[in-house]
Amino acid sequence: MLMAMLRSAVAADPAKIALVCGDERISYAELEQRVARCAGGLRGLGVKEGDCVATVLANGPPFVIAFLATAALRAIFLPLNPNYTKAELQRFIADAEPRVVIAGGGEPAGATPFTELQGPEQRQDHGPFAGRALYLYTSGSTDTYKRVCCTQENLYYEALNFVETVSLTKDDTILCAIPLFHSYGLGNCLLDALYVGATLVILDPAESDGGEAPFVNRCARLAELIRTEKVRFYPGVPYQFSVLASLPEQFPIDFSGVRLCISSGDVLPSRTYGRFLARFGQPIRSLYGSTEAGSIAIDLSPPDMLQTESVGRPLRNVAIEIREGEIWVKSPTLPPGGYDNRPALSTETFRDGFYKTGDLGALDADGRLRITGRKQSFVDIAGYKVDIAEVEEVLSHCPGVEEAAALGVVIESMGALIKAVVVPKDGWRENDIRAFCRKQLAFVKVPRII
């Protein structure tokens, strides 16, 4: 089904620009050719239907091409965060057992550099394929991570449900400034662009001190892309909107041509909403979703009727029920196998065609959803979700820690960060514990305060 989407976009306008990233401008016809060559390279490495292909790639054309090439072979794509530590990458690779790991260079050890995936064009044309297509993990700790396997049909409906709800078209150029390895970036940037044949503009992840540059350092480039590429749709996270709203008045950024800004990944603070609206005259629409269910609800109310505590009505083809105060969701985006590495938990969480979200909520008389509480312990750090349970588990395995607890805190001059409270063993100091965490956790998950 994904390849049918690509072929449809090529047939509609082969010369239309599909991807913009840095100096690269790739048409839909060229994208199809690159995907076919990459699929040939993967086939040469022995990848066949049902195999897993893992990637450790930053946002950019290689990610998009590898994703579609994997789909062309009817294999299963596993996108991994390039900022993961070696221990984190090994944990996921051991669980998913990919046949091939693709990386930007040679890391992790044994990975195939993307530049080597150039084979004879491999094109599949055996009719629509709706089977297994994407592995996503909802958490990263050794005991609690859960893996879902979305089908190509799930991903097709992820795009269809959102596009038809918000009336996205091929002329709605999409700006991608969120990670494509996350379900939000993959679904509401890449899949939406592919479904309608729109241009996807990728904010290239500029490097800084060996890692991705902070978002605030890339705002000038973001402003340039909005202007030069005539961006119409901007999906972001609360952290990004907060940074943008805090830019100096003289900062040259103009959102007047953007027709839709959405925020997801965490609750959008009313203060951020108000400051962004005052600064740019643009309302931010809250989108509610999850890894397990994709996009669920969005608030498309007229600007004067928007409520920051509301996430709006269900998307097309999505049903919401409130059972004993908890939000249950039914949608064609739900993975048919639930958690395919946690069967007992899957039986508990996926029932009668519904997904039990673990979030608390209420529906008003007009069918709008309001989130009243969250059962899961996630903290938003610089736009990334951090599972407190994962941090606590790593601390519990630290040789210098007797007991530990972690929580998210907000420091005025530093923003949101992780704070750990520990009972240390003799001879262990704060820096020793933090050094241990750095070997096990991505940078945003490491406790800044101990």
Q: Where in the chain is the domain with CATH 3.40.50.12780?
A: 2-373
- pLDDT for residue 123: 73
Tokens coding 179: 């990670």
- pLDDT for residue 210: 47
- 3-class secondary-structure state, position 366: coil
Segment 267-281 mean pLDDT? 90
Nearest-5° Cα angle at 413, 409 to 416: 25
Fold held by 2-373? Rossmann fold (3.40.50)
The whole-angstrom separation of Cα 143 and Cα 43 is 34
Name the least confident of 41-55, 89-103, 170-184, 266-280. 266-280
- pLDDT for residue 142: 40
pLDDT, one tens digit per residue, over 142-186 is 446 799 999 999 999 999 999 999 999 999 999 999 999 999 999
Segment 405-423 mean pLDDT? 85
pLDDT at 208 over 60: no
The whole-angstrom separation of Cα 234 and Cα 227 is 13
- pLDDT for residue 55: 97
CATH of domain 378-445: 3.30.300.30
pLDDT, one tens digit per residue, over 295-350 is 999 999 888 787 777 899 999 999 999 999 999 999 999 999 999 988 988 999 99
The residue assigned the tokens 């070696």 is 86
Tokens coding 93: 């690779």
pLDDT at 211 over 60: no
User: How far apart, in Å, are the Cα atoms of 435 and each of 213, 293, 346, 394, 395?
Assistant: 22, 36, 35, 12, 11
| Strand blocks (E) in 33-96 | 52-56, 76-79
Tokens coding 392: 């606590």
Total-model pTM: 0.86
- pLDDT for residue 130: 92
- The closest of 42, 232, 41, 36 to 118, measured between CA atoms, is 41
Q: DSSP state, 188?
A: I
- 3-class secondary-structure state, position 174: strand
Neighbours of 290 (CB within 10 A): 21
Q: Where in the chain is the domain with CATH 3.30.300.30?
A: 378-445
